[in-house]
């Protein structure tokens, strides 16, 4: 698969990061399905997207038509099966617990065609361990955005033990399409930025 083949992206999780990722993808022209486990969480995701954008309109920094265009590309759903229909890439941004993520990936494996790529927004958990919950470990990759996702340019692209070169290339090309700077990092606790950030924060507070 090439980046030009990506038409729809499913974002699983409508919290702060999921909503931000959905917005970034829609702003880049992709059709997006944003999913969470309850409608109230999906609605909350839309609020997280709409409110900052409307403030930009009020300040004259953005046209209403541009906001409407972004929102028109995002569809909110609750059923996981519905969320992944037609998606070439699934970006997971759910709770940072390995058992939660592995359970989700096992479900995604049943629902998605074999060519679909799974990307995790995890900030520190093992991509390899998540990938082992699927039958496509070569198509599972880390895609760690930083908050706020629509604004922050850096994305860490993390290779699991079986992530293929083609998957890495696709996700890095996708980052470019999103206007982001992709940095390939090895799988290790905290990856690069968090491993640098945490000691700095500890030093600042001690």
Active site residues per annotation? 123, 144, 156, 194
Strands in 89-92's sheet, in edge-to-edge order, are 74-77, 31-35, 8-12, 89-92, 117-120, 140-145, 154-159, 181-186
Backbone angles phi, psi at 24, to 5 degrees: -60, -40
Q: What is the DSSP letter of 60?
A: T
Q: Which helix (H) or strand (E) holds 24?
A: helix 16-27
CB 32 within 8 A of CB 87: no
Q: Can you say whether the dihedral through the CA atoms of 95, 164, 7, 29 is positive or negative?
A: positive
Terminus-to-terminus CA distance in the chain, angstroms?
Answer: 49
């Amino acid at each position: 698969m090439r980046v030009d083949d990506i038409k729809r992206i499913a974002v699983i999780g409508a919290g702060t990061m999921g909503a931000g990722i959905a917005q970034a993808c829609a702003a880049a022209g992709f059709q997006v399905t944003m999913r969470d486990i309850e409608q109230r969480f999906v609605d909350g995701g839309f609020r997280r997207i709409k409110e900052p954008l409307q403030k930009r309109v009020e300040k004259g920094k953005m046209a209403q038509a541009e906001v409407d265009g972004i929102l028109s590309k995002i569809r909110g759903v609750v059923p996981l099966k519905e969320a992944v229909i037609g998606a070439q890439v699934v970006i997971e941004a759910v709770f940072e617990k390995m058992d939660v993520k592995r359970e989700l990936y096992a479900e995604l494996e049943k629902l998605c065609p074999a060519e679909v790529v799974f990307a995790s927004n995890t900030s520190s958990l093992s991509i390899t361990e998540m990938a082992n919950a699927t039958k496509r470990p070569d198509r599972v990759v880390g895609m760690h955005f930083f908050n706020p996702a629509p604004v922050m340019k850096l994305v860490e692209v993390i290779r699991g033990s079986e992530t293929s070169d083609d998957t890495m290339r696709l996700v890095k090309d996708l980052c470019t399409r999103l206007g982001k700077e992709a940095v390939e990092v090895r799988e290790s606790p905290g990856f690069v930025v968090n491993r640098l950030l945490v000691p700095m924060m500890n030093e600042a507070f001690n």
